Amino acid sequence: MVLYGEPSANSATTIAFTEAVKIGGKDLAAGEYELFTIPGESEWTVIINKGSKQWGAYEYKESDDILRIKVKPTKLKEKVETFTIQFADVYPNTAKLQLMWENTALTVDLSTDFDAKVMAGIDEAMKGEKKPYFQAAYYYLETGKDLSKALEWATAAETADPKAPWVKLLKGRVQLKSGDKKAAAATAEEGIKLATEIKNPEYIRLHTGLLAETKK
């Protein structure tokens, strides 16, 4: 999710998104918009307007509103002299839009469907010659998706790189999460052996931990 906001003393504040997002729980298509607010004593209205590079709010048209959301303001401990728009807590699929001026702050939640993009990317990459077996299996494991598919890909990654203890660790974790403790233990023992051969104490530790998990 790539985004930016541009406050200005003269023209309307501009906000842009490079992909579709949810803002305050409402869908908004990718694009550049103008941002307005209507202050209230206990609640403000935040407006996303299609705009037209207008001068301030003088040419604002309610008919051009894309969406409106209600936001409860909070009081700032320290005064903000200049109107500030910023993005905070930015992650791959979420962020917070913050508006601050004097002792008042507004925070609007933003989100995008990052998972759908990753899944589409995996599907497309698997059609190519160089398939990202390890990365795909890791993503499936970490996001709780089809573990049988994750194991298939982890096994394929193991076949391509049989001496890699990190691949063994991934496969063992998938096996353990799938409920196959016996297979996970065998993989962990293989991983300990490989890590010992290349003198990698970190993977010895990780595989030893995995082996211990299989005995619980």
**pLDDT tens digits for range 143-174:** 999 999 999 999 999 999 999 999 999 999 99
Percent of the chain exceeding pLDDT 90 equals 66
User: The whole model's pTM is what?
Assistant: 0.64
Contact 93, 113 (CB under 8 A): yes
pLDDT at 6: 52
Per-residue pLDDT of 41-96, as tens digits, reads 899 999 999 876 655 556 788 889 999 999 999 999 888 888 888 888 887 788 89
* Mean pLDDT value of segment 115-140: 93
Helices (H), 25-164: 114-125, 133-142, 147-160
**Edge-to-edge, what's the strand order for the sheet holding 31-38?**
3-6, 13-17, 31-38, 44-49, 65-71
Find the helix or strand (DSSP H, E) in which 36 lies. Answer: strand 31-38
What single letter denotes the amino acid at residue 140?
Y
